[in-house]
A and B are shown apart, each in its own frame.
Chain A
Amino acid sequence: MNIVMAIFGAVSQGLTWAILALGVYLTFRILNFADMSCEGSFALGGSISAVLMVNFQWNPFLTLIVSTLAGAAAGAVTGFLHTRLKIPAILSGILTMIGLYSVNLRVMGQANTSLIGQNTLIMMIKGLLPEAKELGIKDSTLQTWVTMGVGLVFIFAVIMILYWFFGTEIGCCIRATGNNEAMVRAQGVNTDKMKILGLLFSNGLIGLSGALVTQSQGYADVSMGVGAIVIGLASIVIGEVLLLRVKNFAGKLIAIVVGSIIYRIIIAVVLQFGLATDDLKLFTAIVVALALSVPVLKSKKGMIRKEAR
């Protein structure tokens, strides 16, 4: 029973973190831009959502909008540093990320903000449902189900919007920019604008994801974004490896969500088997490094085979 509950928890966690993975996918795969600023914008979304609720008694749904916009603004800063000031992509992201660490401390005025006793988004929806006792389940179980439902609704909306947007003229230009900048400029498109737009979209989603995670886990922490890019990448590569055959764009996005859930299940399982929480980040890093090196390892193997012939 214990492991089943842990897996349910993992699925609901995977769903709230999946939006982060979708955001990372936009930059890493579509725009071909390793954007480190996501670590900062994830915590920024969380901090803002928590502070608006605790200090200003905002409705949790409204805080999500502000978190999304703040994340988008952070992405725009990275885009500005990279395109206008010609700072290399990876460094632009790192600068934004480091800057946001201080910003997040300023926003919260402390290193973390607890939502204990607050009517969080999950609590609000749970309040609309019958009591857990009446349903004959534990209170924590009901909370997990609600989190899953919320995650699913948001993911559905995000995938619909992304599917539509990347089918439009501007969306096509962003995809092409990640593919071949010279060609896109030759077709009369300002590639700088497309990059900024892509970063803005991506970090907006990541800010939203940070806010959702904060609402479901009940606190925001200034270091909650540490390793976010790696977690996003882990979800992407797991999704890609599992659903290799999927060629359609919506299918690819769904694969990432599945990847995010499976990543959380893997984590839950290895924790059950006694891996120390402190070692989780190292574990994740190794998983991602291995998954990303699959194409190289495969081609090397192929070369050896060819030589053997």
Chain B
Amino acid sequence: MLKMTNIYKTFNPNTVNEKLVLRGLNVELKDGDFVTVIGGNGAGKSTMLNMIAGVHFPDQGSITLDGEDITGLPEHKRAKYLGRVFQDPMMGTAANMEIEENLALAYRRGQKRGLNWGITKEEKELYVEKLKMLDLGLETRLTAKVGLLSGGQRQALTLLMATLQQPKLLLLDEHTAALDPKTASKVLELSEQIIASYSLTALMVTHNMKNAIQYGNRLIMMYEGKIIYDVSGEEKKNLHVSDLLEKFEKASGGEFANDRMILS
């Protein structure tokens, strides 16, 4: 369904900060794939996701989604196909607006917006129902400002917003990295539950190797802008963190995995 072919991307070309991030990246996702992506800092994981979302555009290569070439499509135009949850809990929601207003914005993703009222009565009932599924007590706080919520609550809300209109592809960019361990595992469980119930195709970047093995049906390891390890099915289920570390060390020529990867 998603196909990225031979993608190259350099940031700040011709300056001292020049950084070649993606070097001939090739990825292909099948319908219903739930892929976890791991790799060290600067491996290009987030850049890959941002490229799919249209935040950055590739210098070379092409991206197709369900057969449609979206390589040069602006971010807001491809948003109708994509659900996104960001690393920063502040990024996915509008803090000064109410919970229901945020949901109403997400509910209209991919639809034409005009001069009709921003929220209708029937919608609010739907929102209450959906918020109950999160089990965070938000269903009684529809008109509360999102800025009053905790990071975990905001991430859960963003997840709900990303899937309110069923996306073709769900992009989770280290969406639990900024949360405490308990909240993080709750949000992860919620993610898996939502992905399973709508049988969504999803890409989840994570720094946590255990999570990468535990969740999803396929795992991709990136290093220096390329995929160096791609495993799925039974083989993935039987992986251990030590296997991944070994792979990583081999690929990086003995360089140690960074602290964050080992610790998590």
Residues of A participating in the B interface, judged by any CB pair closer than 8 Å: 165, 167-173, 175-176, 179-180, 182-191
Contact = CB atoms under 8 A, between A and B. Distances in A.
B106 A187 contact: yes
Contacts of A186: 53, 75, 79, 82, 84, 92
B47 to A, nearest CB: 16
A168 B116 contact: yes
A179 B116 contact: no
A188 B110 contact: yes
Interface in B203-243: none
Given A182-B86, A185-B76, A169 B96 contact: no
Contacts of B80: 188
A182 B91 contact: yes
B91 A170 contact: no
Contacts of A190: 74, 76
Given A169-B113, A180-B95, A187-B105, 6 more contacts: A169-B118, A172-B105, A176-B105, A179-B95, A184-B94, A187-B79
A169 B76 contact: no
A189 B109 CA distance: 8
A170 B104 CA distance: 12
A185 B79 contact: yes
A25 to B, nearest CB: 14
A170 B94 contact: no
Given A167-B117, A169-B118, A173-B105, A185 B75 contact: yes
Interface in B70-117: 74-77, 79-80, 82, 84, 86, 90-97, 101-102, 104-106, 108-110, 113-117
A180 B94 contact: yes
Given A176-B97, A190-B76, A183 B91 contact: yes
A175 B97 contact: yes
B144 to A, nearest CB: 11
Interface string B44-76: 000000000100000000000000000000111
B79 A188 contact: yes
A247 to B, nearest CB: 9
Contacts of B82: 186
Contacts of A187: 79, 105-106, 108-109, 161
Contacts of A188: 76-77, 79-80, 108-110
Contacts of A169: 108, 113-118
A172 B104 contact: yes
Given A182-B86, A187-B108, A190-B76, A168 B94 contact: no
25 contacts: A168-B116, A168-B117, A169-B115, A172-B101, A172-B104, A173-B105, A175-B97, A176-B97, A176-B101, A180-B90, A180-B94, A182-B86, A183-B105, A184-B94, A184-B105, A185-B75, A185-B76, A186-B53, A186-B75, A186-B82, A187-B109, A188-B76, A188-B80, A189-B105, A190-B74
Nearest to B86: A182
B79 A171 contact: no
Nearest to B161: A187
A187 B79 CA distance: 6
Contact of B113 (A179, A185, A189): A189
Given A169-B114, A169-B116, A170-B114, A183 B108 contact: no
A168 B115 contact: yes
A165 B113 CA distance: 13
What 4 A-B pairs are tightest by C-beta distance, nearest first?
A: A188-B79, A172-B118, A169-B113, A179-B94
A173 B113 contact: yes
B96 to A, nearest CB: 5
Contacts of B79: 185-189
Interface string B116-153: 11110000000000000000000000000000000000
Contacts of B109: 187-188
Among B95, B101, B118, find the residue whose CB has the most chain A CB atoms closer than 10 A: B118
Contacts of B108: 169, 187-188
A175 B102 CA distance: 11
A133 to B, nearest CB: 49
Nearest to B84: A186
Nearest to B164: A187
Nearest to A170: B113
Given A184-B105, A186-B53, A168 B118 contact: yes
A200 to B, nearest CB: 15
A261 B254 CA distance: 72
A190 B78 CA distance: 11
A36 B175 CA distance: 38
A158 B74 CA distance: 35
A183 B101 CA distance: 13
Contacts of B86: 182
Contact of A179 (B84, B96, B104, B114): B96
A195 to B, nearest CB: 13
A167 B76 contact: no
Contacts of B97: 172, 175-176, 179
Interface string B146-190: 000000000000000100000000000000000000000000000
